Amino acid sequence: EDDDDDDEKASSIKLGLGDFIFYSLLVSKAALYSFATFAACVLVILAGLGGTLVLLAVWKQALPALPISIFLGVTFYLLTRMIIEPWIQDALTVPLYV
């Protein structure tokens, strides 16, 4: 029975505390700027984590959890902050008549 527990632990998915710290730092920095930036970062970090889990299932070996999520998070943070937010601000200044 102990052998089964060891096999189950070896095949389980583990995320370190450092992974969550980096994720939360990026999301909290995005939340300080705007809700749109916050939402974009949360969604792409979750998508990156999902992509990492898919790669983990395909390759069946240990993979770092940070690179895909952090790359996508930083990319979308900058994209949202530099392009999307100014566009939202411009769109809100123009009145919309229905």
43-96 pLDDT per residue, tens: 999 999 999 888 888 888 878 888 999 999 999 999 999 999 999 999 999 888
pTM assigned to the model:
0.78
Flag whether pLDDT at 5 surpasses 90. Answer: no
Residue 17: which pLDDT band, with cuts at 50, 70 and 90?
confident
Residues 6+ apart with CB under 8 A from 47: 72
Cα-based distances in Å from 62 to 8, 33, 55, 73, 84: 15, 35, 10, 22, 36
Amino acid 59: pLDDT: 85
